[in-house]
Amino acid sequence: MSNKPSDREPIGEDARIDALDQRLKAAREREEERSKPQVQGADANYRMGNRVLADLIGGIGGGALIGWVIDRFAGTAPWGLLVMMFLGIIVAFRNIFRMANRPPD
């Protein structure tokens, strides 16, 4: 037998444990990064959805209210209500299209 060290000496137990600790730490960091809540994107989308809903309800409701008032004082029922509600819908959709075509911040 020769006294020459072999090419494949066993790694010491401390080195294996250190290597395992490093791999576990890297895996935990990757998992934490992957499982972080994505609050910014979801929050922005939620706000935009609420704004779209408010525009639709406000356009239809505001147009209907103004049309009803016009009909009460002018005696043009139901045409004032229908025309103003239709205009409110048009304005609401115009605002939504503007919002959708705006580049993200």
pLDDT computed for residue 76 by the predictor: 87
Phi and psi, residue 102, nearest 5°: -75, 135
Q: What is the pLDDT along the chain (105 residues), one digit of tens a residue?
A: 455 555 566 666 677 888 888 999 999 999 888 887 665 656 878 888 999 999 999 999 999 999 999 999 999 889 999 999 999 999 999 999 999 898 876
For the chain, the structural domain boundaries read 39-105
pLDDT computed for residue 8 by the predictor: 65
Both ends of the chain: CA-CA distance in Å? 73
Torsion of Cα atoms, 81 then 82 then 85 then 87, to 10°: -120
Q: What are 90's two structure tokens?
A: 């048009």
